[in-house]
Amino acid sequence: MNPAPGVSVTVVNPQAKAPYTGMLPGFIAGHYDRSALDIDLVKLARRAGARLITDFATGIDVAGKQVSLAERPDIAYDTLSVDIGITTKLPIIAGAAQHAVSAKPLGPFANQWEAFLTRSKRDEVTPQIAVIGGGVAGVELALAMAYRVQSEGFETTPVKLIEAKPDILRETGSAVRRKLRRELNHYGINVITNARVKKITASGMAFEAGLKDVQANFVVTATGARPHNWLSETGLKLHEGYIEVDDRLRSINTPGIFAAGDCAHMAFAPRPKAGVFAVRQAPVLLNNLRADLSGRKMRLYRPQKSYLKLISTGRKSAITDKWGLAPKGKFIWRLKDKIDRDFMDQFQMTP
């Protein structure tokens, strides 16, 4: 919105709209329509005087300072910022690519959910939903989907939540875990633990060790963060597949390249993958991209130690995981709703 003189900015993103994760469970549950979820990159880029290319970056030639794209010619850069997030795809499981949809990236997931609901409304399919991954994201999505199919009045089988380890929600506090388990019970969600999926087919999935097959016609994978594979061929220094950055968000081995959000690993202060860090990095990233081009002073990024986690529970209710307490209810939902709407309102500004 405040262009640097003489600098041309190019944004590369596969879709013209970028969905916001904070509101995804509310969209799945039917509390928001699709337009509430999407940041319109065309409008934003036009107002900022930036060029938008809707394509996938597939590689970086760090010596030649070029980014290769899936369908268009390479683009040259002086300064590059990589913010491609993570994926929750399950490439190692047979049939996952054809018969499961990953929670991330969000755009394709939201599209497939809408299409599945349309087919259910037309009675072309009876919803049989399974979520693979019993972390917070998997639980939040399972609750949202169970609420939606029940509130739509579909004839359906109980949603299945499948976890390879002996327990779900291992990273939350015990009070939150207890309350979320109660919510899972409330919606009749079938939690299946010690269940490592071996194969996914059009009609469901089979497990490694003697468990009965599960029938499902909408399978979501929420199995934790995975880095995008192609980064490993760039020559950028990686930590477990994520771009290692210093406290100015610069790649630690390649000048002129920055990384932020989930795709970056902050070796100086490791943090979990959460949107709050991506958002707080943005002003520092902006300053430092400008500084890289102009020779000005760079700013340091100091991530906060803890942050407010708000988890929605299907209906318009949410729970928060903070200081070992777990207050829950409609008022937490209203707080979450306000924070999310205020965030999205920032992208609706007039020129």
Q: Which residues bind ligand FAD (CB under 6 A)?
A: 12-14, 18, 21-22, 24, 56-57, 83-85, 103-105, 137, 140-141, 228, 261-263, 273-276, 278
Minimum Å gap between C-beta 168 and ligand FAD is 15
Minimum Å gap between C-beta 85 and ligand FAD is 2
Nearer to ligand FAD, 194 or 230 (CB): 230
Minimum Å gap between C-beta 217 and ligand FAD is 21
> What one-character DSSP code corresponds to residue 231?
G
Nearer to ligand FAD, 100 or 207 (CB): 100
Which residue sits closest to ligand FAD, CB atoms considered? 261
> What one-character DSSP code corresponds to residue 254?
S
Angle made by CA atoms 137, 192, 26, in degrees to the nearest 5: 30
Minimum Å gap between C-beta 212 and ligand FAD is 28
Tracing tokens 């003189």 back to the chain, one arrives at 5
Strands 204-207 and 197-201: antiparallel
Instruction: Indicate if the alpha-carbon torsion angle 240, 245, 251, 256 is positive or negative.
Output: positive
| Conformation bin of residue 329: beta by default, left when phi > 0, alpha when psi is -120 to 50 | left
Angle made by CA atoms 74, 285, 252, in degrees to the nearest 5: 75
Minimum Å gap between C-beta 209 and ligand FAD is 27
**Beta carbons within 10 angstroms of residue 262's beta carbon:** 22
Minimum Å gap between C-beta 11 and ligand FAD is 9
Nearer to ligand FAD, 164 or 274 (CB): 274
For the record, the structure tokens of 326 come out as 């777990």
**Beta carbons within 10 angstroms of residue 337's beta carbon:** 20
Nearer to ligand FAD, 207 or 277 (CB): 277
CB 186 within 8 A of CB 198: no
Minimum Å gap between C-beta 237 and ligand FAD is 18
Nearer to ligand FAD, 148 or 207 (CB): 148
Nearer to ligand FAD, 89 or 228 (CB): 228
The C-alpha R_g of the chain, in whole angstroms, comes to 21
**CA torsion, points 222, 263, 93, 157, in degrees to nearest 10?**
10
How far is it, in rounded angstroms, from Cα 237 to Cα 67?
17
